[in-house]
Structure 1
């Protein structure tokens, strides 16, 4: 979080700002403009903590939330609206993260309006607090505000959020001298401050009272017990720039060269977060050396420990780190560091997925050959790592694609991430993340002119659109995939796309176009002698022609499907196709033929030993006999169906009991 290091470095105790806290708590109770006019407040109360980066904005917001959390029993939800480097976070992405925390299923590929509506609906019935950290402007924050007067929104921003009505602002400057000295003392200890209180006052004055600068100054002194407070104040006066920049430059210059390089390279870490593996890959050092250096940085106030071995560079320091990176490191070295980080991430994701494979599988044998630092002991450990690193991994994929120079590594990273998410969470649970990842693949494929990859990405996106009911969107993607498959001369992609286009038209009720596209797909399967696909497409054509009322064509396709399944040795498929043929004959007013075909289907279901299918066909046969005026025979078939289903239930109960034993 922006300014999180202010609260996290050294002691986590909160210093000063009591007047601001009191005013913010009073603002929660203060009557709003709507209430003064006699109307109930239409939405949550919005409090604003405004100030420069490094002023402790987020720390104050968190302290306020902690002090009033008991009044909001439905919880606290947080989202950051600015990347550590200062780039605005799209509102849709922030909404997705909030929905995940709220436990609300997100439709894959949903538009921003739909996502923000889901957020407001989820928060609408809750007495909860929403923290919007580092908001850029009102347009970014306003769609997320709950339409519920019992909720509280605490926004953190540089300045006013003009456009949101009745916002209660609290603008921060520096800490008062007493509180700033207390914050400094938490890092240095009391002795050095007590022996020279005037130097301590001069030092915090040089820091402008900014908590971010005071924390860095305290960390610098903590690492140099022989240096006086007055000496540090003198050094700061000799630096150029604002107080935060001067304190950072002094801290950076004091680091050994290898550590300073690691610190600068943290600006390349996704979301500004790095564990020992990420820092090791970026700097080209050992994992153990990176872990030790990150822990030292935390003690110096340069990073904040977020738990599970991960550290975060404060948002107010990331622009300064980037500036030093551009000044001191050659572009080729920076690009090599990015490539090392992506390669290490790919290997970790491959290991994360491989541990879910059965013992003795090729993936597990390959996993055993990896260095110990890259292996996960159990699937549970891998799943915990994947869950905790998920936001950073998704950000890493976005960064890799945006870079534009590492597209091969970007494609490998995305493919590995897709497989890991699917292996641990299942395709359904991972679908919202997969949608965004497939869109990234599509971006790379279009940029590089990779028609095969473009077709694959479009097919995957079309499948996700179709699954969430956006059939017209899916249809467009499938048609584009067909064109890309033709450009790539890829029979699989074109065949799959044609069949999917037909399925979309079928879903839309356009039977003629559905039949046309299924026919194109069938022609390709016939040309390549792909018999299983041929049989499946004959069933699709039979279904479409049945819906369209063209019973002659439908019967021909169902007969062809039955023959295809019989040649493949798929007896249940053969029986089902005959059953559908019997249904078409009945629709066409040929009940006697339907009866004979249905009897044939029953026989094939019996040979296939598919009890449930046989019972279903017996019931259909009974219905046909009723319509033909033979109720006695119909009763016999219904009784036979009941006996089959009863035997199936008995067998299931026996198997269940054995399993429990």
Structure 2
């Protein structure tokens, strides 16, 4: 099912991934009929302002997710823009923030979501996107009505199918379809998927008794069926008898889980307990291997065994990844807390983070050229930590992305593994940028930089705080939040000064000037560029000096102070000349020509522009040459020489080839 959100997490009616949907025909019919039911708006003669909501209510393990998926599968063809999926509660029981859900749904629709945008802004963007589409939106495991209400499409042509433990009071015109246990025939059919028909036919009453012990709960039946499948000589009566001996206070799912858990050999039981630490409830062989300290191959074999027992659910990805069922997650965590010492738990978490860091480093290194230092280092890693090619690494990163982001957040929240957390965030930032590009990965990078800021604040790491603030401010500025960017740039300047870091302070001062420039406060922009320039002059950083002279020239031009602008552009051109940077020199002269034209000195502008053209030619910058030829043509038109102007335009067209559009030369310095 295409969609967004974390992987599904209940080992429900599909038998932990086995076979087809079982039972619930009456519920499916009732839900389908509810779609056509006249709502309160229709009865009053008004058109429904929002999408119809179908609610499937039931306890974890009751099959609510499987029923919602079955309904979505049956109805999906009626919705031209497809089915979207989002899980609203993490396997650990924490609410998924609305901004994360909205961002993932927008991503599923291939729509941009500005990095750092708040929940309200993203939810509004999602509703606007769905207003022009016909989709079926499946919202799984909603914690309350507010979560669903914020995501509801303002479009009656859409349909929302939500699952929750109880009614969603606050959303009007919603009648919950409340799930109990499966009927006996369907429950026995589910069991037979694991046991085969013979053991059921030999003792049908025992099968019915087992269904009764499980209260018809699909998750409990799957666990009981998995136990029987692993023991071909055991009878259905055996498992029913053992369940009866288990305390009833545990509930059907808890009793079936204890039966399955206590039948595991000690190493497997320990691996299962430690899966409570799996980020976002997502497990792969490397995670299990690192948590338990066993080999990757042994971990993979154990995960396959858990899947057969109904303790895990595969998500169909390659390489294999599994989901800890939501109804089992609290039981697994309780077992870990009861039987694992805190020091062992922390050690397992540290091993998992260290393994993740090494995999991320390998994932990034595969993008480097052959023969590079990173590739040579990669060759020295164990085979299990190496990727065969860049495509395999990108696929792993894409599949594991939710778990990796959750792992970084959990490591920072832990507070006791900050060194590993910093390494993990750094490795994840680099891997995402290498495979997805900084633009596509910007929403993820924004969250990761905030995690770095949290650790830096907690540990008093001023240099890292400055770097995180600069990165966050850059993303704010890129999305037009200039005042927020300005505040962060100023905070970065304070952190840079506290760290006595000249690079951070210089970068922050220049960025403060850039933020004021974007806010069209030319005086303050010039002041801050001047401060940054003073520092660069004192340190003899010539390339930065030339750039800052250009930025000063730009803001003075915008302010109409053409004399100051020309002085700064001349200084910039001189700086690039001393550096031997022909292209930079040409661009500085082109901006000088622009200012001379603004100042009413077209003859000087023409001369300067011709000099810039020659420098661009010597630099081999064809696009710059073409743009300068067009500027020359415009200047000649204003001087009353249209014939010469036509010649320069023809030259520009030849340079660009195939009439490819040339951009007007703008100050590159203003966007550095």
The interval holding the TM-score normalised by the smaller chain is over 0.9
Residue 459 of structure 2 corresponds to residue 448 of structure 1: yes
Deviation at residue 100 of structure 1 after TM alignment: 1.2
Q: Pick from 424, 428, 450: which aligns with 2:439?
A: 428
Deviation at residue 600 of structure 1 after TM alignment: 4.5
In structure 1, the partner of 2:175 is 168
Deviation at residue 617 of structure 1 after TM alignment: 4.5
Structure 1 pair 93–4 and aligned structure 2 pair: CA distance change class (3 A): farther
Residue 444 of structure 2 corresponds to residue 437 of structure 1: no
In structure 2, the partner of 1:275 is 284
Give the secondary-structure state (helix, strand or coil) at the position aligned to 2:139: strand
Tell me the distance in 2 between the aligned counterparts of 1:243 and 1:467: 53
Q: Pick from 123, 129, 132: which aligns with 2:136?
A: 129
Deviation at residue 521 of structure 1 after TM alignment: 0.5
In structure 1, the partner of 2:346 is 335
Structure 1 pair 250–608 and aligned structure 2 pair: CA distance change class (3 A): closer
The C-alpha deviation readout for 1:313-361, integer Å capped at 9, x for no partner, is 1000000000000000001111111111111111111111111111111
Deviation at residue 133 of structure 1 after TM alignment: 0.3
In structure 1, the partner of 2:84 is 77
Residue 402 of structure 2 corresponds to residue 391 of structure 1: yes
1:48–1:154 Cα contact (<8 Å) kept: yes
Tell me the distance in 1 between the aligned counterparts of 2:594 and 2:442: 37
Structure 2 residues without counterparts, runs of 5 or longer: 1-7, 661-672
Q: Pick from 566, 576, 585: which aligns with 1:574?
A: 585
Q: Pick from 314, 339, 343: which aligns with 1:305?
A: 314
In structure 2, the partner of 1:237 is 244
Tell me the distance in 2 between the aligned counterparts of 1:585 and 1:68: 67
In structure 2, the partner of 1:658 is none
Tell me the distance in 1 between the aligned counterparts of 2:266 and 2:201: 33
Deviation at residue 611 of structure 1 after TM alignment: 5.4
Comparing 609-618 with 362-371, greater Cα deviation is found at: 609-618
Structure 1 pair 567–204 and aligned structure 2 pair: CA distance change class (3 A): same
Structure 1 pair 610–133 and aligned structure 2 pair: CA distance change class (3 A): closer
In structure 2, the partner of 1:659 is none
Structure 1 pair 570–194 and aligned structure 2 pair: CA distance change class (3 A): same
Tell me the distance in 1 between the aligned counterparts of 2:277 and 2:145: 29
In structure 1, the partner of 2:293 is 284
Deviation at residue 404 of structure 1 after TM alignment: 1.2
Q: Pick from 29, 32, 41: which aligns with 2:36?
A: 29
Give the secondary-structure state (helix, strand or coil) at the position aligned to 1:429: coil
Tell me the distance in 1 between the aligned counterparts of 2:360 and 2:203: 53
1:611–1:644 Cα contact (<8 Å) kept: no
Give the secondary-structure state (helix, strand or coil) at the position aligned to 1:194: helix
In structure 1, the partner of 2:47 is 40
Give the secondary-structure state (helix, strand or coil) at the position aligned to 1:427: coil
1:556-635 matched pairs, under 5 angstroms: 556-591=567-602, 593-594=604-605, 597-598=608-609, 600-605=611-616, 607-608=618-619, 610=621, 613-614=624-625, 616-617=627-628, 620=631, 631=640, 635=643
In structure 2, the partner of 1:94 is 101
Structure 1 pair 564–8 and aligned structure 2 pair: CA distance change class (3 A): farther
In structure 2, the partner of 1:184 is 191
In structure 1, the partner of 2:235 is 228
TM-score (norm 2): 0.92
1:611–1:645 Cα contact (<8 Å) kept: no
Structure 1 residues without counterparts, runs of 5 or longer: 654-661
Deviation at residue 591 of structure 1 after TM alignment: 5.0
In structure 2, the partner of 1:657 is none
Tell me the distance in 2 between the aligned counterparts of 1:595 and 1:301: 78
Structure 1 pair 367–44 and aligned structure 2 pair: CA distance change class (3 A): same
Tell me the distance in 2 between the aligned counterparts of 1:266 and 1:607: 63
Residue 73 of structure 2 corresponds to residue 66 of structure 1: yes
Deviation at residue 75 of structure 1 after TM alignment: 1.0
Deviation at residue 9 of structure 1 after TM alignment: 2.0
Q: Pick from 522, 547, 554: which aligns with 2:558?
A: 547
Give the secondary-structure state (helix, strand or coil) at the position aligned to 2:325: coil
1:91–1:141 Cα contact (<8 Å) kept: no
Give the secondary-structure state (helix, strand or coil) at the position aligned to 2:480: coil
Give the secondary-structure state (helix, strand or coil) at the position aligned to 2:141: strand
Residue 208 of structure 2 corresponds to residue 201 of structure 1: yes
Deviation at residue 517 of structure 1 after TM alignment: 0.6
Q: CA RMSD in A?
A: 2.1
The C-alpha deviation readout for 1:87-137, integer Å capped at 9, x for no partner, is 111111111111111111111111111111122222222222111000000
Tell me the distance in 2 between the aligned counterparts of 1:615 and 1:372: 51
TM-score (norm 1): 0.94
1:357–1:363 Cα contact (<8 Å) kept: yes
Tell me the distance in 2 between the aligned counterparts of 1:255 and 1:609: 70
Deviation at residue 33 of structure 1 after TM alignment: 0.9
Deviation at residue 6 of structure 1 after TM alignment: 3.7
Tell me the distance in 2 between the aligned counterparts of 1:615 and 1:103: 35
Deviation at residue 578 of structure 1 after TM alignment: 2.9
Deviation at residue 601 of structure 1 after TM alignment: 4.1
Tell me the distance in 2 between the aligned counterparts of 1:185 and 1:373: 38
In structure 2, the partner of 1:348 is 359
Q: Pick from 246, 249, 263: which aligns with 1:254?
A: 263
1:397–1:414 Cα contact (<8 Å) kept: yes
Aligned residues: 649
Give the secondary-structure state (helix, strand or coil) at the position aligned to 2:440: helix
2:139–2:148 Cα contact (<8 Å) kept: yes
Give the secondary-structure state (helix, strand or coil) at the position aligned to 1:7: coil
Tell me the distance in 1 between the aligned counterparts of 2:489 and 2:656: 43
